[in-house]
Amino acid sequence: MTTQVFQNPKTLYKNFITSINTHKHEVALRLYVILVLAHWAEHLVQAFQIFVLDWPRPESRGLLGQWFPWLVTSESMHYIYALFMLIGLWVLRSGFIGRSYKWWMASFIIQFWHHIEHLILQYQAIFKITLFNSPVPVSFLQLLYPRVELHLFYNTVVFIPMAVAMWMHLFPNEKELPHARCSCAIK
């Protein structure tokens, strides 16, 4: 009897998605949340530097940005993170059921728009073309709100439904519990 050494990429992808939404959902979700919280921490530190310590905005770069200033100014890094968030929300979605699924997808929809804003910024940075005669790349909502405040807003409105979804996922109601695909629920 021979075993197949190489699997079809579609089969590998399907197996991966199934595993991270069933028996490995808790681990995958924890890793995802750790990265999300680390990103949140960076934005909160930057806000603290600006609004509490009264640092000038260009010097307020969060924690990692103090050692690696290019992280804050790199549109590519911001776009990659926005894309990571979007992909994470998408690939982990089928582990959620019922009410938690609805909240998770609300977070996904908001992050989709946030990703579009970063895509617009990335496009401007790559092609050296800015919108609205701006001296620097600018997103649509950045025309109305300063960038730091806008990103705090985006991170908040993406995180709140994500947190609600995770709470409901950990504590499903009696109707949802029998349909759970993973073992994340705290009974």
pLDDT digits (tens, 9 = 90+) for 101-122: 999 999 999 999 999 999 999 9
For residue 169, give the nearest of 4, 36, 28, 73 by alpha carbon: 28
CB 42 within 8 A of CB 49: no
Kindly report the pTM of this predicted structure. 0.89
Torsion of CA 89, 90, 93, 95, to 10 degrees: -100
Cα-based distances in Å from 30 to 20, 33, 161, 163, 166: 11, 5, 16, 12, 10
CB 161 within 8 A of CB 106: yes
Which pLDDT score, from 0 to 100, does residue 152 have? Answer: 92
Which pLDDT score, from 0 to 100, does residue 63 have? Answer: 87
For residue 172, give the nearest of 104, 75, 124, 89 by alpha carbon: 104
Q: 182: which DSSP letter?
A: S
Q: 123: which DSSP letter?
A: H
In a 13 Å sphere around the CA of 65, the CA atoms on its Cβ side amount to 22
Q: Residues of the chain whose pLDDT is less than 70?
A: 1-5
Q: 59: which DSSP letter?
A: G
Which pLDDT score, from 0 to 100, does residue 5 have? Answer: 64
